[in-house]
Amino acid sequence: MAQSKIPVGILGATGMVGQQYITLLNDHPWFEVRYAAASPRSAGKKYAEAVKGRWQLTKTYAPHVGDLMVEDANDVSRAVAAFKKGECSFVFSALEMSKDETKALEEQYAAAGIPVISNASAHRWTEDVPVLIAEINADHTDIIPLQKKARGWDRGFIAVKPNCSIQSYMKPIHALAQAGYEAKRMFVNTMQAVSGAGYPGVPSLDMIDNIVPYIGGEEEKSEKEPLKIFGCIDGGIFKNAEFPLISAHCNRVPVIDGHTACVSLEFAGKKPSSMDEIKKIWAAYKGLPQEAGLPFAPKQPIIYREEDNRPQPRKDRDTDKAMAVTIGRLRPCNIFDIRFVALSHNTVRGAAGGGILNAELLKHKGYL
């Protein structure tokens, strides 16, 4: 069976997002982890050895992954050799280096013929790199042939996913935009889980009987990345959308997984006739992942809960393989048009799971 699956590699395989990729791919119908690379500190060890005492997840890795020899992620030639042996058709990048180092290294992989599906933020503002949320801008993959051509790359390319903080509110506003109700301005207040900061990450002295009303760089990402995702390809590069204008405030709260966002939204033009109309739009919302039946696609990307005290991270984050967005508390806003609360699992939908869905989309489109 293994032979018929596409062999994939994980860069940064021992880190927290790397661990998520590996467990989520345990039984994937299309992909199989056959290559693991990490920092020089882990290189040369078996994967099981490299993560011993550092494993953060409840689920564990598949036995065959435990036996993989970890390679040095800085050494692209190792991945090329694995590619030639049929052990690494493309890589998921969960690198935890500086932005500049990540940017350069991911380009080296792509130049060497290894497509890179990245979780890192390094290439999100590279003009010809798509930032994909599979339900929203599947057509942004159209830039890949242009990217390859411009870079002189043959088989390799780079595609990335956006920041975990925006996952919960992008699909609901996209659903409304598709129905003719464009968002003009938004206030977003996030309460984000500690897993977003990796391990060791946030000290417990900051998260017991406390919250921290600041996450470095997070507000900027939450405000700007949506504009690229809602943008379009123009002359071989992405042109940002002008709207919605977003004002974000990002907080760290004592939650393991699951980012919650309180949203107030103003429509640009036409407004929905009622809260019920909005709920119907959300319930009916589907994208290419649903239509194509991609393995990691949630059946229903947006779940609305009628209870007045939901969504809650611990209770709702795992909905539909932790890939669905859960929304609640839709109500009129005193200042803008509507208010609601949205929740998304930050290390699954917002990280490794979102990356896998992007890879499925790219495979479906014929790029992998």
Please list the active-site residues: 164, 259
* Using rule CB under 8 A, residue 356 touches its own copies: no
Q: Angle at CA 119, nearest 5°, toward 178 and 287?
A: 20
Q: Check if the beta carbon of residue 309 is closer than 8 Å to that of residue 299.
A: no
Q: Report the residue from 119, 137, 163, 195 that binds its own copies according to the rule CB under 8 A.
A: 195
* Smallest distance, its own copies to C-beta of residue 318, A: 5
* Using rule CB under 8 A, residue 275 touches its own copies: no
* Smallest distance, its own copies to C-beta of residue 117, A: 25
Between 35 and 74, how does the x/- string for binding to its own copies read (CB under 8 A)?
-----------------xx-xxxxx---------------
Considering CB under 8 A, how many residues would be counted as binding its own copies? 63
Supply the DSSP symbol for 366.
T
Q: Report the residue from 104, 150, 245, 284 that binds its own copies according to the rule CB under 8 A.
A: 245
Burial 215-250 (b: 16+ CB within 10 A, else e): beebbebbbbbbbbbbbebeeeebebeebbebebbb
* Using rule CB under 8 A, residue 129 touches its own copies: no
Q: Report the residue from 194, 348, 361, 368 that binds its own copies according to the rule CB under 8 A.
A: 194
* Smallest distance, its own copies to C-beta of residue 345, A: 11
Which residue's CB is nearer to its own copies, number 59 or number 239? 59
* Using rule CB under 8 A, residue 300 touches its own copies: no
Which residue's CB is nearer to its own copies, number 86 or number 217? 217
**How far is Cα 135 from Cα 289, in angstroms, rounded to an integer?**
6
For its own copies, the binding residues in 311-350 under the rule CB under 8 A are 311-318, 328-329, 333-336, 339, 341
**How far is Cα 13 from Cα 36, in angstroms, rounded to an integer?**
6
Q: Which stretch binds its own copies (CB under 8 A): 41-49, 120-128, 241-249, 353-361?
A: 241-249
* Using rule CB under 8 A, residue 276 touches its own copies: no
Alpha-carbon separation of residue 280 from 172, 188, 272, 304 (angstroms): 11, 23, 11, 9
Q: Check if the beta carbon of residue 116 is closer than 8 Å to that of residue 8.
A: no
* Using rule CB under 8 A, residue 262 touches its own copies: yes
The pair of structure tokens assigned to 282 is: 């959300």
- In DSSP terms, which residues pair with 38 in a beta bridge? 72
Which residue's CB is nearer to its own copies, number 108 or number 189? 189
**How far is Cα 339 from Cα 328, in angstroms, rounded to an integer?**
10
**How far is Cα 360 from Cα 366, in angstroms, rounded to an integer?**
10
For its own copies, the binding residues in 201-240 under the rule CB under 8 A are 201-214, 216, 223
* Using rule CB under 8 A, residue 77 touches its own copies: no
Q: Within 137-195, where are the H helices?
A: 143-151, 167-178
* Smallest distance, its own copies to C-beta of residue 267, A: 14
Q: Check if the beta carbon of residue 179 is closer than 8 Å to that of residue 281.
A: yes
**How far is Cα 265 from Cα 234, in angstroms, rounded to an integer?**
28
Q: Angle at CA 158, nearest 5°, toward 154 and 164?
A: 170
List contacts with its own copies (CB under 8 A). 52-53, 55-59, 185, 187, 189, 191, 194-195, 199-214, 216, 223, 245-247, 249, 251, 253-256, 260, 262, 264, 307-318, 328-329, 333-336, 339, 341
